[in-house]
Amino acid sequence: MKHSDLSPEVQQQILADFKTDKAVFEKIYNHYYEMIFKYLLKRTMSGEVAYDITAETFIKAFESLHKFKWTGVSIKVWLYRIAINALKNHRRNPKIKPLTEEMQGLKQLQTNAKEELEELDKTMFGDDELSKLSDAVGTLNPKYQNIVSLHYFEGFSHKEIGAIIKRSESAVKSMMHRALINLRQLLATNSI
């Protein structure tokens, strides 16, 4: 599922305008919030945790946008990098308490995330293997979970994933290859 990105011209204008008008960040928030939240929801399978990490992602982005230099790397790629780092920090310290009890619309987003996972499972394995893929992805090394999720769930290219995780495109392809081998082995041996 490929998510749209703001055009490079719009992104550059936002960066220029942000220097004098912090309210322009709202354009970034409105455009990217749902895709970052859905990504984190798929990775955490917890609405509260995904909501909190998404909030942390946008707070860090707002605080750091003045440092962002346009080099052709999309704001979207930069936000996913922040989100992945926030997710890693959360996993290192899982005792962090959620900020809120409820979020409006959370049930619908959880349902949509589950449907997208099921759709991917059906595409790759058919109806009888629905839960096996999700379980297998969940047992992978987190770095492999990231690239599999970014590529298959979010529609990023190997090059874009490389920019997000700060690795070369060939390194991402190699990691993807290893991740898929691990997934096949896990699914073939039913060790999940």
Helical segments of 19-141, H only = 25-44, 47-64, 75-92, 106-125, 130-139
Nearest partner of 77 among 157, 142, 177, 23, judged by Cα = 157
Of residues 175 and 91, more confidence is placed in 175
Tokens found for residue 163: 């920019």
At residue 182, does pLDDT exceed 80? yes
The pTM assigned to this predicted structure is 0.67
pLDDT in tens, 26-73: 999 999 999 999 999 888 888 889 999 999 999 999 999 999 988 888
Are 185 and 166 in contact by the 8 Å Cβ rule? The answer is no
Question: What is the domain partition of the chain in residue ranges?
Answer: 8-189
C-alpha of 4 from chain center: 14
Distance, in Å, from the CA atom of 88 to the CA atom of 165, rounded to the nearest integer, reads 12
